[in-house]
Structure 1
């Protein structure tokens, strides 16, 4: 077992394919394959299930990944401290995003001060991102939460509120607010189950005993907004995610708690290492 093998395994686990891992590490794909095979022989078992479109971690690979992730991030941190005091000059940072609106200004600021760090982003809903952070398959995530998660390092970035999205020509479009009770029987385009925004909305509906008419389930807020603009039904998004679309209006909801916040989340075992530490510091924590 050697460092090249661990780096290859780490890159394949993060990227999902051998070719993407080779591109990330700037080596040939056969070299990545050889390193992973050698590591599997040393471990005495398969680390990946090979699929037609990529790879999936086996149980052994899943168990190994957090330890390798700590090693890789620890080496980046040591290198930074030796070469340039505390600032990371190179490396790789995987950031999970549930939406770009809060995250991209932070990423822009980090890129300005750490141009040598390669940043990869992954878009998922908040529930999926929390799992990826817990598994150390992403270094950081910016997610929607109603409260911090006890087992993770959580830094509150900005408060948000769920707003009702409707077409600009809807009869409610000029109102200052809409009470949740008024939504009973209204046609809605909803988000998937793992969406934290949807979960907050569902809890508010349940608290008031309100039933809506569910027309369609979609997997992104952009798709929801397009469906609302097309007249399929009403929708909900967080206030800072509404954007500037003349076809739509965002109306505050009243009658129950529909508040949340965007949090910067990391695994506690790597939150003080290398580029992860410096991204958190740049965000003001």
Structure 2
């Protein structure tokens, strides 16, 4: 069993598709298939269920993958630690975020404070974040919803209200607040499942025994406000967008939702046992030692929303 076999197996397990994994690894499909077959022979059991050209990770493969990812992550950490010990700058820090708008001010300030740090940024939903952390491909995730992993630690960075954005001239334009039942028949612009906006929308409606009507589902949360502004529906938008002045570029009207827990909690998440470069340690300190956002949840009962200052 060698390192190449393990990396090939990890990639095939990620895609569950030989040709896609071969393209990622820049190797021929037959060579990749033989490498995986030799690994299975050495372990003594198949790691994939094969049906024609389709392959699926079986329970033995899932079990083995956890150990492979841990081992490869440790090796990568070792290489990074050696590079840092040789004094090559602060090292690299890799961060995954659900939306780029949220993380831009953080990374911009960090870049000014630590210009020698090598920063890598990924956009990912909650499921992808969990995989990136387990595989050691990122140091941190900036998450707006809990990540399903027991081997992580996290720190809360900020809480902010989530507002309802409606097109100019909409019947809610000018309203101070609205209940979920009042908007039960309104079409919503939202994200696909896996993003926090969709999770929050479905939770708020489920609390009233309702299901939201969707007019648009997308993978780019930052585009929601544009689609709302041209009348394709209404949607949930974090208060930071209002504070950032995006309504001057993409005009929408803002309404408070009279619903409990209509907010987003931003947390910084990392693997408990992973090695962190100097750059990663500095980023965690930078993110936690200063206010992450100026838009905070008001100190009040959720049924009596007020304007943010």
After superposition, the Cα gap between the structure-2 partners of 1:249 and 1:79, relative to the gap in structure 1 and judged at 3 Å, is: same
What is the rounded CA distance, in whole Å, between the counterparts of 2:214 and 2:260 in structure 1?
A: 23
Equivalent residues in 2 for 1:173-212 (5 A)?
A: 173-175=173-175, 177-180=176-179, 183-189=182-188, 190-205=190-205, 209=208
Contact 1:80 1:89 in 2 (8 A): no
TM-score of the aligned structures, taking structure 2 as reference length: 0.66
Distance 2:226 2:14 in 1: 32
Relative distance call for 1:62 and 1:93 in structure 2 (3 A) is farther
Deviation at 1:103, TM superposition (A): 3.5
Cα RMSD of the aligned pairs, angstroms, is: 4.3
Q: Which residues of structure 1 form unaligned runs of 5+?
A: none
Structure 2: tracts of 5 or more residues without a match: 289-309
Say how many residue pairs are matched: 272
CA pair 205-8 structure 1, distance change in 2 beyond 3 A:
closer
Rate the CA distance shift 1:92–1:237 in 2: closer, same or farther, 3 A. Answer: same
2:272 pairs with 246, 251, 268, which one?
268
Secondary structure in structure 2 of the residue aligned to 1:161: strand
Q: 1:98-140 CA deviation, whole Å, 9 max, x = no partner?
A: 222233555675795454x8x573532x3x2465368548544
1:252 and 2:256 are equivalent in the alignment: yes
Deviation at residue 167 of structure 1 after TM alignment? 0.9
**1:37 equivalent in structure 2:** 37
Aligned mates of 2:21, 2:81 — CA distance in 1: 31
Deviation at 1:72, TM superposition (A): 1.6
- In the other structure, the counterpart of 2:78 is 78
Residues 33 and 203 (structure 1), Cα distance of their counterparts in 2 relative to 1, 3 Å cut: closer
Aligned runs of 1:106-125 on 2, under 5 Å?
109=110, 113-115=116-118, 119=120, 121-124=122-125
Equivalents in 1 of 2:179, 2:128: separation in Å? 29
| C-alpha displacement of 1:214 | 1.7
Q: Distance in 2 between matches of 1:51 and 1:107?
A: 45
Q: Work out whether residues 205 and 212 of structure 2, in 8 Å CA contact, stay in contact via their aligned partners in 1.
A: no
Is 1:152 equivalent to 2:152 in the alignment?
yes
2: distance between equivalents of 1:252 and 1:53?
Answer: 51
For residue 282 of structure 1, what is the aligned residue in structure 2? 283
Q: TM-score, normalised by structure 1?
A: 0.70
The one-character-per-residue Cα deviations of 1:44-74 (angstroms, maximum 9, x if unpaired) are: 3343467999965333322122211221221
Partners of 1:54 and 1:210 in 2: CA distance: 40
1:19 to 13, 19, 22: 22
1:162, distance to aligned residue in structure 2 (A): 1.3
How far residue 164 of structure 1 moved from its aligned partner, in angstroms, is 0.5
- Superposed CA deviations along residues 190-227 of structure 1, whole A, max 9, x for unmatched, are 544544333334444555x4858624351443564454
Distance 2:149 2:160 in 1: 17
For residues 282 and 100 of structure 2, the distance between their equivalents in structure 1, rounded to whole angstroms, comes to 20
Q: Corresponding residue for 2:217?
A: 218
